Amino acid sequence: MSTGSVASDAEDYETCHRRTARKITCFNTSRYSDEELEDDALEVGIKPERKLSKAHQKDARQTQRNAANARERARMRVLSKAFSRLKTSLPWVPADTKLSKLDTLRLASSYISHLRQLLQEDRFERSFAHPVNLV
């Protein structure tokens, strides 16, 4: 199963900008203050006066964050698709029914219980049936 084509990533980027007004967190490049970055640099033994490496570090960190965000979006997309598939496997639920994830989980759970009960009844009935090999 492939996830995260270039097109869908671009779409996600757009969606993100459309959906959220949170300028602080959405693909934000100013999440980390210079002080924080400087502390990080000091911690790994990098001289703080090197402005270029500081910028690079900031870039690298942001790039990694963006990649992690994209992976997380893809992961959640897979999860949502799984919920959709689960929903379609539920009987008595029309395809166009709006069902929350929680509802889907609850219905699936009760459907499994129902199926289990049918199975038990079936076994019970079979135990009283005539043995076929007895003529």
Minimal distance, residue 48 CB to DNA, in Å: 20
CB of 118 vs DNA, minimal distance in Å:
28
Question: Distance between CA 111 and CA 97 in Å, rounded?
Answer: 17
Q: Which is nearer to DNA, 110 or 117 (CB)?
A: 110
Cβ proximity to DNA: between 83 and 111 the closer is: 83
Nearest to 61 by CA among 78, 44, 75: 44
- Asked whether the CA dihedral 15, 18, 19, 24 is positive or negative, the reply is positive
Residues at the interface with DNA (CB under 7 A): 12, 15-16, 18-22, 25-28, 31, 64-73, 75-77, 80, 100-103
Angstrom distance (rounded) from CA 56 to CA 58: 5
The nearer residue to DNA, 95 or 102, going by C-beta atoms, is 102
